[in-house]
Amino acid sequence: MKTIGLLGGMSWESTAEYYRLLNELTRERLGGLHSAKCVLHSVDFAEVEHLQTTGQWQAAGELLADAARSVEAAGADLLLICTNTMHKVADQVAAAVGIPLLHLADATAEAVLAAGVRRVGLLGTAFTMEQDFYRERLAGHGLEVLVPDAAGRELVHRVIYQELCVGVVREESRDAYREVIARLVAAGAQGVILGCTEIELLIGVADSPVPVFPTTRIHASAAVAAAL
């Protein structure tokens, strides 16, 4: 099995899910006591969040590029950025290393298309929902992407940063997310991408009338397949 390199800590709540899923999926594939071969560089999310909110994306990319080089030096054969939002700097990170970067949006788009869905709602941070780097990557695979209205986007973003990233899971927020999903479905969404790795801590298949696409699990599954 190849060694999977992880750029994590954004937040560590979802990176812990990555680690669990990579090992569970490897055991499912190989059986017995098998587990995933991984190298993890976990950053301080407070530093990254400051760069995000102040628009210092070049500096954020440099930070993750340095982390990627350390993961490659530690023996990783492929690379995952364990967050949707920071795929804004994916090209900068990929250019810093000689190992392949498995892009989360590409893996997600393949899963959506395999399910026969073409018009999909997207939940994520405000950066992911409002900027082009993620939506256009999905659109490049032939998907039509819908996002919540301004109030819905603010709600989804706030819950991610103020609750999920610090390990808080509230029923009131789950209900609010269900309402956002219902409005996306009413607008024509045939499925919903959980386009922030923390959202899977709050929302599952039972919370949506249409299929949901959990990006952490999708990314981890694609990584195990590539590593094997």
Active site residues: 83, 196
Q: How far is CA 103 from the centre of its chain?
A: 10
Which residue shows structure tokens 């999977």? 4
Axis-axis angle for helices 12-30, 215-227 (nearest 10): 50
Residue 128 to residues 44, 87, 119, 133, 134, Cα–Cα distance (Å): 20, 9, 17, 7, 6
Residue 35 burial (CB count, 10 A):
14
CB within 8 Å of 53: residues ≥ 6 apart: none
